[in-house]
Amino acid sequence: MNFLNKLAAVGLAVLLASPALAETQTISQAGKKFSERKITVKVGDTVTFLNDDETTHNVHSATDGHVFDLGAQAPGESLSHTFDTVGDVKVRCAIHPKMKVTVQVVE
Ligand SMILES: [Cu+2]
C-alpha cells in the first residue's frame, strides 16, 4: 500500500467513526395542540416548536434534570430546544395546561 492509499484508508476510517449528525424535528401547535403526543430523539438532537397557531404559547418543561422554558412565543414564531440528557421529558405549554408532549431522549 503506498502512502496515498494509506492516507485514504485512514480518512475513510475517521469518516465512518464520526457520530451521526444531530437531527432536528419539528412539532407544531395549531389549535392549541402539540402535533405529536410522544416523540423519540437522540441525545444532542434539537426539537423546533413552531407556533402555527393564532394564540401565544409558552413551551417549557418542569421534568427533573430537564428543566427549560422557551418563554412567550407569538404566533408565527419558531423556538428550539436541544435535548442533552437521556430521559422522558414532559413538555407542556404554560398557558394551555392541556397541551402535552413527551420527548423521549435516548442514547
Ligand atoms: Cu399554549
Residue 12 maps to a domain = no
Q: What's the pLDDT at 33? A: 98
Residue 98 maps to a domain = yes
Residue 81 maps to a domain = yes
Structurally, the chain folds into a number of domains equal to 1
Distance in Å, CA 18 to ligand 1 centroid: 38
Distance in Å, CA 55 to ligand 1 centroid: 7
Residue 3 maps to a domain = no
Q: Is residue 8 helix, strand or coil?
A: helix
Of 9 and 45, the structure prediction assigns the larger pLDDT to: 45
Distance in Å, CA 107 to ligand 1 centroid: 29
Q: What's the pLDDT at 19? A: 59
Task: Give CA separation, 47 vs 2, 38, 102, in Å.
Answer: 46, 12, 12
Residue span of the structural domain in which 84 resides: 23-106
Single-letter amino acid, residue 31: G
Residue 96 maps to a domain = yes
Q: Provide the whole-model pTM.
A: 0.81
Q: How does pLDDT run across 55-99, given as a tens digit for each residue?
A: 999 999 999 999 999 999 999 999 999 999 999 999 999 999 999
Residue 15 maps to a domain = no
Q: Whole-angstrom Cα distance, residue 46 to residue 70?
A: 13
Of 103, 107, 104, residue with least CA distance to 27: 103
Distance in Å, CA 71 to ligand 1 centroid: 11
Q: How confident is the model at residue 21 (pLDDT cuts 50, 70, 90)?
A: confident
Residue 77 maps to a domain = yes
Distance in Å, CA 101 to ligand 1 centroid: 12
Residue 66 maps to a domain = yes
Q: Whole-angstrom Cα distance, residue 94 to residue 97?
A: 6
The CATH number for 69's domain is 2.60.40.420
